[in-house]
Chain A
Amino acid sequence: MAEMLYRAALREALIEEMDRDPKVYVMGEDIGRFGGAYRVTDGLLDKYGEMRVVDTPIAEEVIVGCAIGSAMLGLKPVVEMMTVNFSLVAFDQIVQNAAKIRYMFGGQATVGLVIRMPGGAGHQLSAQHSHSFEALYGMIPGLLVVAPTTPEDAKGLLKSAIRTPNPVMFLESMSLYNMKGEVPGEEYLTPIGKAAIRREGKDLTIVAVSRQAVLAQLAAQKLEEEDVDAEVIDLRSIRPLDWQPIVDSVKKTNRLLVVEEGWPTYGVSAEIAAGVQKRAFDYLDGPVERIGGAEVPMPYNQQLEKTAIPSSDDIIRRALEMVGKKVPA
């Protein structure tokens, strides 16, 4: 075990996989000479050269299109979108090609492509640069969508993503790049499609995705002082969803709160609420509760932005309501 930053864990995954497999290459805006907007690919150009560390023009559709083509011919592209917001420019390539080619070609071509992209709000980047698109990508059949929240998972999931023959939307979080955590010294893979139980509890289940899973753990620690024992499940994988631990947990706690930073309408929390009421209806002691981002374009104003993003206090208050405890003013 070594303590490591989230961004360094990602870099380690890239290095290990590029060393392992010469077909793996990285591509994106400012990832080579500049080392990446969030320094994830720092040093890779010197190590692997321009053939495998490709700086591109500012043209996301072209980047992803090239990556898809090279993946169909057997390379393993790991594309960086500077942020998840810019992936909208490449949305057509992602949805129409990356997600469908394997199906439409009857399996004769596969798209083993990873698109890494940080998302999330909280940095006063305003309406166009503060998105959380877990649900947007999570609804597309043919894509795998993951959102690691710890350095260990960042590395383990990225390695798994590079090795799967299917397109993976790898959702990083701007707010987590400087997070420290233990990372195993030996080689390991974190499986795609498995949620992580971050904390066991008996009073309610909090399922959260991406950075909200970190906030949910903070909330659970504080809830302990209020004598509320919350179980926290970090979704990790948005598509496919790992229902078993969620359902098992709800059967134990009888209460479910789902938290996401993105807009909740048609969101991850909506999907989980729908699935749980179907799979554990007879175990629910109250409606499935949801917390999501405010349904507005993200405000630039700091206070307004803060109010628009779910906080651990929001989680605490809702949890207290759900277990019938007094909610502090």
Chain B
Amino acid sequence: MSDVNMPKLSDTMEEGTVIEWKKQTGDAVKKGDVLAEVESDKASFELEADADGVLSIVVDAGTPVPVGDLIANIGKEGEAPAQKAAPKAEAKPEPETARPEPAEPESAVEEPEEEPQLPAAQVETPSDGARIKASPIAARLAAEMGVNLAQLKGSGPEGRIVKEDVLAAAKQGSAGRRPSASPRGPARTGPDVEHEELTRIQTIVARRMVESKTTVPHFYLTTKVRMDEAVRVQKQLRESVSGAEKLTISDLVMRACAIALRRHPEVNASWGGDHIELKRRINIGFAVAQPKGLVVPVLKDVDAKDLVQISIESRQLIERARAGKPSPQDLEGGTFSLSNLGMFGVTEFAAVVNVPEAAILAVGVVADEPVVEEGRVVPGKTMKMTLSVDHRVLYGANGAQFLAEVKGLLENPVSLVLPPGE
């Protein structure tokens, strides 16, 4: 005889109600069969049989029952109350109540089995809210992916829920799961909120972002660039020029910005409190994500570098930054910044000005989209750029002229390919 108790499905659940019995007293049930629909304070869920046998209902539908209380029994055929027609004789010997089978002979080199012999009910009855047998990684993934372990059947040894089971359940997704099911499996432990110490970089970024957003009057200018030519040039250079094999759109934008900054020196500037500092060198920083935070390595004297140099040197900077090993020189001396989130499919965004610089250019994805050319809709490649500007240093018109310059250079990229110093 195996007890069916009201399961505890959430931390706050104290009682539950059987909304509907899906099986009736006298029905032969098999492990995994849905016995009933049960409602908790938060959700309703299906209660599954944890043993083979014949069902005997103790509590009728509609009656609230405290968690842990008996609501039904699953017994052997002989034990079933003789109310209905003889149940189908398909019930197999049940693992729960069967006498232990003789252990399989082990080969000499095998170690003694050290699995603790827990009471069967604790090991194999997930739906009573007791211990669920899941591997550590399965438990962790379930918590991360919002999969309820109580609703999974383990495919591992002795019914252990393993990684594959959780991944399969997650893949089935919300379609396979009841939307009302609590994502908080019983296996998740610990507080709801974790305290995570800041890394040094996170501290610095936080301070500088607040400084920027509280002291720099931002305004934003967005434009859309036709990138068909730039993409073509990128492809040609990658295929034919030694050193340009990994040339990126960011590299082209970097070169375009360097040329545009040379032509619009007022953008390559800083607010000095009571004056404006115009920078002679053009050093462009670019945001590189790290696992926790970001750094902005700076490529120096970009106006004096050709695309190959830009490609190679910025990649070296990125590698050092990602590895968490940028040198102090890598991070200093910036006069203008770039941020590109196109690789994540971001279409456009506005970056926070990297103080004390006057402007930062945020670049989105190169997208295939319909564009109008001479009154006809044709396929084209476009990219959106947003310039964030310190209004103390620059005004709408300055910023717009600079942005138009960058746009023009990218749309007619031949000037990007010319050697520096044009």
Contacts and interface: CB of A to CB of B under 8 A. Distances in A.
Task: State yes or no: do A and B come from one complex.
Answer: yes
Interface of A: 254, 264, 281-286, 290-294, 307-310, 314, 321, 324
Contacts of A264: 111
12 contacts: A282-B140, A283-B137, A284-B135, A285-B135, A285-B163, A286-B162, A291-B109, A291-B111, A294-B109, A308-B108, A308-B109, A324-B156
B116 to A, nearest CB: 12
A292 B109 CA distance: 7
B157 A286 contact: yes
A309 B107 CA distance: 11
Contacts of A324: 155-157, 162
Interface string B93-130: 00000000000000111110000000000000000000
Interface in B130-153: 135-138, 140
Contacts of B108: 294, 307-308
A292 B140 CA distance: 31
A281 B138 CA distance: 11
Contacts of B111: 264, 290-292
A324 B155 CA distance: 8
A307 B108 CA distance: 7
B79 to A, nearest CB: 35
A242 B296 CA distance: 35
Given A324-B155, A324-B156, A285 B137 contact: yes
Nearest to A251: B137
B160 interface: yes
Contacts of A281: 136
Interface size class of B (residues with CB under 8 A): 10 to 19
Nearest to B140: A282
Contact of B138 (A285, A293, A308, A314): A285
Interface string B212-251: 0000000000000000000000000000000000000000
A321 B106 CA distance: 13
B162 A285 contact: yes
Nearest to A308: B108
A284 B136 CA distance: 6
Interface in B333-352: none
Given A283-B140, A308-B108, 10 more contacts: A254-B135, A281-B136, A285-B137, A285-B156, A285-B162, A286-B160, A290-B111, A294-B108, A324-B156, A324-B162
Interface in B158-177: 160, 162-163
A291 B163 CA distance: 24
Contacts of A286: 135, 156-157, 160, 162
A293 B156 CA distance: 27
B137 A282 contact: yes
A307 B109 contact: yes
Contacts of B157: 286, 321, 324
Top 10 A-B residue pairs of the complex, sorted by shortest distance between their CB atoms = A285-B135, A285-B163, A282-B140, A284-B136, A294-B108, A285-B137, A285-B162, A283-B137, A281-B136, A307-B108
A286 B160 CA distance: 9
Interface in B63-113: 107-111
A23 B223 CA distance: 76
A112 B157 CA distance: 49
From A254, A285, A290, A324, residue with most partner B Cβ within 10 Å: A285
Interface in B361-413: none
Contacts of A308: 108-109
A61 to B, nearest CB: 34
Contacts of A307: 107-109
A308 B108 CA distance: 7
Contact of B136 (A283, A290, A292): A283
Looking at B108, B109, B163, the one whose CB has the most chain A CB atoms below 10 A away is: B109
B230 to A, nearest CB: 39
B83 to A, nearest CB: 42
Nearest to B138: A285
A296 B137 CA distance: 36
A291 to B, nearest CB: 6
Nearest to B161: A285
Contacts of B110: 291
Identify which of B135, B155, B157 gathers the most chain A CB atoms within 10 Å of its CB: B135
A264 B137 CA distance: 26
A310 B107 CA distance: 11
Nearest to B155: A324
Contact of B137 (A254, A294, A310, A314): A254
B109 A293 contact: yes
A301 to B, nearest CB: 13
Contacts of B160: 286
A195 B138 CA distance: 28
Given A282-B136, A283-B136, A324-B156, A254 B163 contact: yes
B144 to A, nearest CB: 10
Contacts of A285: 135-138, 156, 162-163
Nearest to A304: B108
A308 B107 CA distance: 10
A298 to B, nearest CB: 12
B117 to A, nearest CB: 15
Nearest to A269: B111
Nearest to B139: A282
